[in-house]
Chain A
Amino acid sequence: MRLAATLADVQPAAARCLRDTRCSYGSWPENRTLCPLYQHDPSFTFSGGGYMFLVLALQDNKIQFDQSTAEFAFSCAGCLACDANCHLIATHPPHAGITDIVRLLRSEAVKRGFIPAGAARKLYEEVRKAGDYGKATPLDLPSKISSVKAGTVIFAECAHAASRKDIAAATVSLLAKIGSPVAQFAEKGCCGAALYDAGFWDELEPLVRANWAAMKPLKGREFVFTSPHCQEFIVRRYPEILPDYTPVKNRHISQLLADAFKNGKLKSKASAQVKVSYHDPCYLGRGLGIYDAPRDILASLKGVKLVEMERNREDSFCCGAGVMGDYIPGLSADTARERIREFEATGADLLITACAYCRDAFRKVMPAADRKRVKDLTELVDERT
């Protein structure tokens, strides 16, 4: 979506919604509910279509933009399920998905000064104060693999997820085990993904430009991402925002690890039998289409048995981390709990994911004694190699 887009630009596309709530559920014949809002409270309002009709109502002055509208806009989890299942909205100019139209609503809310308290407000205040969201946080790469000229560049930045440090440590340890030379990209703070999601579009553009300026000299090399959000944003959104963008080679860490197992650079050690269930992060799965690499890795680990949750792969259910509004109180935690229930139904010992936000969201709602049952894929692999 162009950052200059307005509600008037998306009105014709929003007006094509059939009110059929196709956006809220997954593939036939399972037809499982995927939209966290709809899962919580099935109604047309709480679906992608509800947002489309809100756009129409706002444009027709049938409802005023206020704090409540903002809370509603920020209550979408941004899980991309609607975009994966709606066949209509994105086929009309400006060819934006439902999630992008929700982000535009957020951006309009921000312009009017309606910012929900909590994560969104904190993010906004930080970026206004510091001119960035987060600081460059380089990985502590061992000298035996660290090489500024390496063809593989680890994209080191990430936002404020509590899990980030653990994942970074596991990643560094795994890269050391693989032993190939690696450079890192840690020049700037936020790549822009978090600001884009939250509708802080005025603040976003300078960050994106600065980040791209730093990335450009390295663009002949392959960027490896640990955060699917950063990867999806750079690969999919930079082209929409930056006129001078040209594609960068990119992989997710799970793809690098899967290849390392295949070519023998990483070997599983004999470990205790464990049943795991894998949660497809929305941006790694629906956003980037990466479903197999994490499963290939789990299949390479000795003693690990994968049991799938009912909703998986393209039909995965969100962890709820992206909910920043309070239109439905407790929606973020309820969404995580719903997913945990599904995980517990598998009888698995561990819940594995590949996104720091997901790990945090699940741990937050689990009893303290169970929190260690949620792990990032890199942590599990590091333990068992």
Chain B
Amino acid sequence: MTTKTAEAGVETVCRELREKIGAEKVRDDEITLVTYGRIRHGFDIMWPFRKPSMVVFPGTREDVVETLKLANKFKVPVTSVGTAAIMLGTTEGGIVIDQRRRDKVLEINTDSGYAVIEPGVSFDKLTAALRGTGYKCSVGTMPGPGTVLGQALSRGSQSFTTRYLNLVLDLEVVLPSGLVYSTGSSHFEGVGSHLRYGPYPDLAGLYTCAYGAMGVITKAAIRIHPVNEASRVNLAGFDNYADSIDYIKELINHNIPEHTFIWDWHMYLTWPLAPEDMEKVMPGVLESDFTKPPEGIPYNIVSTMLSGYPEQVELYEKICARVAEKYHGRVISDEEAEERFPATLDGFRQQYGDYHYRESVHWSKGRFAGWYVFAEPKDMKEIEKYAAGEFAKFGKAINPVNYYSHPFDYGRSILLRIAGFPDPTDIELRKQIAAKFEEMYDTAMKRYRAVPIRPVGSEKAGTYMQVLASIKKVLDPNNILNRDCGLFDEGEL
């Protein structure tokens, strides 16, 4: 909730902001406010309505600085967003900073391998800008209009996590006081963004999964990767998840994949479909028992991005076939994939071959109910069995079609995501699912050493949250930044 000071200050902030940055950049008409409000939506019918007091569209970093200084002075909450902010954490009476107009790709550095972008740059824009440069960026399972920074900072699923834990190299941050600083090497005058940290602690980490609560990002450098002379997506099928894990782990240990991804059969059959095909295929898949794929349909397909010189890729393909066999699987040829899962193959080719987005029509199913954790590979095999068993108890009400797994940081940690699409209007079912997930997180953490990838409540994070809250108090003493966006419980410090 806004404080009394904030309520009194909102009009002043709006007026002064218009004077300082331009009236056209500050909107407070009713239609703008409700459309930027946190509203009951297909993504969560239980969300409380929260309406901002104004929406600011900065054109420059200085506009962000002025907005934060004024908001801080009058203690008005601020939520900073890019595009595709489905779960918009708007605070009632607060300011939304929408940085979509700051959408320039400022630099593509092909010597070092990074791109410097403004916060409004989407994956569609960055993938387009990289064409012809000999470099590519990470792509994920989210829609192409999603902002690169939103994805990178929430550590979502995407390619190249096989080799890195995080794709961010450098961030330019504005604090509520108006102070601007960079977390990486560009902090030193005239230096580029090639190094995430130098002689000092790694402060970029403070903004990863912080949901904007520690500062507003106004520029970022992210890793980009060279397009090699030869590259292809190798597919291998396995009848159980544990074999898939052994397969990817062995390949990673031998430096084979550029990126690798384990797809549950529900997911690989439906994710790359065109919307019209989704309507034909999805109903049947949703009616099926996800634990028992039809005859001849592997439980998992592992897509492995191979790249290098042509001879190298040819050799890697042979190695993939050998290792797949070792773990009771088999490589699926393009011809077979073409015949049996053509949309899947098209999707992989588009996303990993052309480096642009296959529109994920999974999202058209509405708000997913998702459960996702990190764990060590051995533990993850057990977790997957456990989670699949728990999902199966819900039956078809939450058939987990959005179901995949992939390694981070050379397979030190594996991410598993299982998500279904329950009826968005069935509030009782959603409550049951939420309670069950809570229980599953507890079990996975205690019994299988899992780490949740999204905040699960301060009490579970113990002293970590105490330290984080202390840092937050220094950076944002009036607690104006993204109060209702999930890092701290309902914004309380």
Contacts and interface: CB of A to CB of B under 8 A. Distances in A.
B35 A53 contact: yes
A24 to B, nearest CB: 9
A43 B55 contact: yes
Interface in B140-187: 143-146
Interface in B218-254: none
B275 A63 contact: no
Contacts of A41: 24
Interface SS, A side:
loop
Nearest to B85: A19
Interface in A295-318: none
Interface string A1-38: 00000000000100111111110010011110000000
Interface string B424-451: 1100000000000000000000000000
B361 A87 contact: yes
Given A29-B128, A88-B364, A15 B41 contact: yes
Contact of A42 (B100, B131, B366): B100
Interface in A54-70: 54, 56-57, 60, 62-63, 68-69
Contacts of A54: 31, 34-35
B131 A56 contact: no
Given A21-B145, A45-B31, A15 B424 contact: yes
B101 interface: yes
Given A15-B41, A19-B84, A92 B364 contact: yes
Contacts of B84: 18-21
A62 B39 contact: yes
Contact residues on B (Cβ < 8 Å of other chain), bracket? 35 or more
Contact of A28 (B34, B144, B276): B144
A16 B34 contact: no
A41 B27 CA distance: 11
Which of A12, A28, A53, A88 is most buried by chain B, counting CB atoms within 10 A of its CB? A28
Contacts of B145: 20-22, 25
A45 B84 CA distance: 13
Given A20-B145, A88-B364, A45 B40 contact: no
Nearest to A11: B42
A88 B361 contact: yes
A237 to B, nearest CB: 20
B356 interface: yes
B73 to A, nearest CB: 25
Interface string B83-99: 11110100000000010
Nearest to B278: A91
A57 B83 contact: no
Contacts of A21: 83-84, 100, 145
A29 B127 contact: yes
Given A45-B31, A54-B35, A28 B366 contact: no
Interface of B: 24, 27, 29-32, 34-37, 39-43, 49, 51, 55, 57, 83-86, 88, 98, 100-101, 122, 124-125, 127-128, 131, 143-146, 275-276, 278-279, 356-357, 359, 361, 363-364, 366, 424-425
29 contacts: A15-B41, A15-B424, A16-B363, A19-B84, A19-B86, A20-B143, A21-B84, A21-B100, A21-B145, A22-B144, A22-B145, A25-B145, A28-B128, A28-B357, A29-B124, A29-B131, A44-B98, A45-B32, A53-B37, A54-B31, A56-B40, A57-B39, A62-B51, A68-B30, A88-B361, A88-B363, A91-B278, A91-B361, A91-B364
Closest 5 CB pairs of A and B: A29-B128, A15-B42, A20-B84, A57-B34, A20-B145
Interface of A: 12, 15-22, 25, 28-31, 41-45, 49-50, 53-54, 56-57, 60, 62-63, 68-69, 72, 87-88, 90-92, 327
